[in-house]
């Protein structure tokens, strides 16, 4: 979704008491974490024309934990955990964000703390995807080089939104992606550049031993109907680049016979095992 100015006060959470994290699994597992919910009172901005006018939509804001024998990866980081402490959520003209479970508490259910997460990768730098960046400064950040250049400019870093969400990632070990990057070096988890929503947007392909290939879309699509109807939100940086990226994405999905998970589509999110259950 479009970037919003976040008025959160960030309470820096102390590190959890050092428990023994559960040993890495022998095979890959994928967990869908709850990173918040968004409702829009008017869907009109989700298309260039008026075809969605006067409809409302409720959207999921997930984060995904991929447990791999070589390490743990979070793909997208949800809204900031501090949103849970705001009983009425965060409201503005036409939108309402709220969050029921902190990412940090969900990780705790698996006996993990942010310091146990080896990699964090983000589809792009909007607040609903990098909201908890500050928790993961000891992780290795995997990000498209253009997204990184934009997010970590001196000007952006100085904004309250950056300070309250991701600024601590500035000094994290960082892998800058150009076209694609194979995170564990075995082809099981690969990110692909898909510019358009932002200049450095990426999607993630994960191969699960039993469930097969899954493609996590970031904001390449905002909802399932938008994929069928090929609608492009008005707030995308570049509509033409979005269409080109979608064509490449659909070819990849076809070739990989992948299940496409549109992250903000609430039905797609609810069709995944409820945390702490997982796909393998
Ligand atoms: Zn989004
Ligand atoms: Zn976005």
pLDDT for residue 25: 85
pLDDT for residue 19: 47
pLDDT for residue 10: 34
Ligand (nearest to CA of 128) = 1
pLDDT for residue 26: 86
- For residue 269, CA distances in Å to 104, 113, 158, 162, 245 come to 19, 23, 34, 27, 22
Dihedral sign (CA 229, 235, 239, 244): negative
Ligand (nearest to CA of 129) = 1
pLDDT for residue 8: 37
- 3 three-state secondary structure: coil
> Cα(32) to centroid of ligand 2, in Å?
18
> Cα(171) to centroid of ligand 1, in Å?
24
What lies within 8 Å, CB to CB, of 3 at 6+ separation is 125, 126, 127, 161
Ligand (nearest to CA of 126) = 2
> Cα(188) to centroid of ligand 1, in Å?
24
- For residue 55, CA distances in Å to 45, 50, 173, 231, 270 come to 11, 10, 43, 15, 21
- For domain 29-270, give the CATH number: 3.60.15.10
Give, as residue ranges, everything with CB less than 5 Å from ion ligand 1: 1, 128, 219
Which helix (H) or strand (E) segment holds residue 267: the answer is helix 266-270
pLDDT for residue 174: 98
pLDDT for residue 3: 44
DSSP 28-88: -EEEEEEEEEEEES--GGGSSSSTTTT--EEEEEEEEEEEETTEEEEEEE-S-GGGGG-TT
DSSP single-letter state for residue 223: S
How many Å apart are CA 197 and CA 24, to the nearest integer?
34
> Cα(5) to centroid of ligand 2, in Å?
13
How many Å apart are CA 144 and CA 221, to the nearest integer?
18
DSSP single-letter state for residue 265: B
> Cα(55) to centroid of ligand 2, in Å?
20
Q: How do the pLDDT tens digits run along the chain, 280 residues long?
A: 444 434 333 333 333 344 455 678 889 999 999 999 999 999 999 999 999 999 999 999 999 999 999 999 999 999 999 999 999 999 999 999 999 999 999 999 999 999 999 999 999 999 999 999 999 999 999 999 999 999 999 999 999 999 999 999 999 999 999 999 999 999 999 999 999 999 999 999 999 999 999 999 999 999 999 999 999 999 999 999 999 999 999 999 999 999 999 999 999 999 999 999 999 9
Going by DSSP bridges, is the β-strand pair 174-177/180-182 parallel, antiparallel, or unpaired? unpaired
HSE-CB for 154 with a 13 A CA cutoff: 0
> Cα(17) to centroid of ligand 2, in Å?
34
The ranges assigned to domains in the chain are: 29-270
How many Å apart are CA 243 and CA 17, to the nearest integer?
47
Ligand (nearest to CA of 264) = 1
Kindly report the three-state secondary structure assignment for every residue of 178-204.
CCEEECCCCCCEEEEECCCCCCCCEEE
> Cα(197) to centroid of ligand 1, in Å?
9
> Cα(123) to centroid of ligand 1, in Å?
9
DSSP 136-168: GTTSEEEEEHHHHHHHTSHHHHTSHHHHHHTGG
Residue (of 35, 111, 100, 17) closest to 74 by Cα position: 35
Q: What are phi and psi of 66, to 5 degrees?
A: -110, 115
CB 44 within 8 A of CB 50: yes
How many Å apart are CA 193 and CA 195, to the nearest integer?
6
197's tokens? 């929503």
């Amino acid at each position: 979704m479009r970037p919003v100015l976040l008025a959160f006060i960030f309470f820096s959470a102390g590190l959890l008491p050092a428990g023994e994290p559960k040993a890495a699994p022998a095979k890959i597992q994928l967990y869908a974490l709850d990173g918040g919910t968004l409702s829009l009172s008017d869907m009109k901005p989700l298309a260039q024309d008026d075809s969605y006018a006067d409809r409302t939509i409720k959207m999921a804001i997930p984060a995904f934990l991929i447990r791999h024998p070589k390490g743990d990866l979070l793909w997208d980081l949800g809204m900031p955990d501090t949103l849970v402490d705001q009983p009425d959520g965060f409201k503005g003209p036409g939108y309402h964000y709220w969050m029921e479970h902190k990412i940090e508490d969900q990780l705790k259910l698996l006996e993990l703390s942010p310091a146990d997460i080896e990699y964090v990768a983000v589809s792009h730098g909007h607040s609903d995807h990098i909201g908890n960046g500050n928790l993961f400064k000891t992780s290795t950040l995997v990000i498209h080089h253009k997204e990184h250049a934009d997010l970590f400019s001196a000007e952006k870093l100085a904004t309250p939104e950056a300070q309250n969400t991701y600024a601590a990632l500035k000094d994290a070990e960082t892998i800058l992606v150009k076209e694609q990057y194979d995170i564990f070096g075995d082809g099981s988890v690969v990110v692909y550049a898909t510019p358009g929503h932002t200049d450095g947007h990426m999607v993630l392909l994960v191969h699960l031993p039993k469930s097969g290939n899954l493609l996590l879309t970031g904001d390449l699509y905002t909802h399932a109907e938008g994929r069928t109807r090929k609608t492009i939100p008005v707030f995308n940086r570049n509509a033409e680049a979005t269409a080109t990226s979608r064509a490449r994405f659909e070819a990849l999905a076809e070739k990989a016979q992948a299940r496409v998970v549109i992250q903000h589509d609430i039905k797609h999110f609810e069709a995944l095992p409820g945390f702490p259950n997982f796909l393998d």
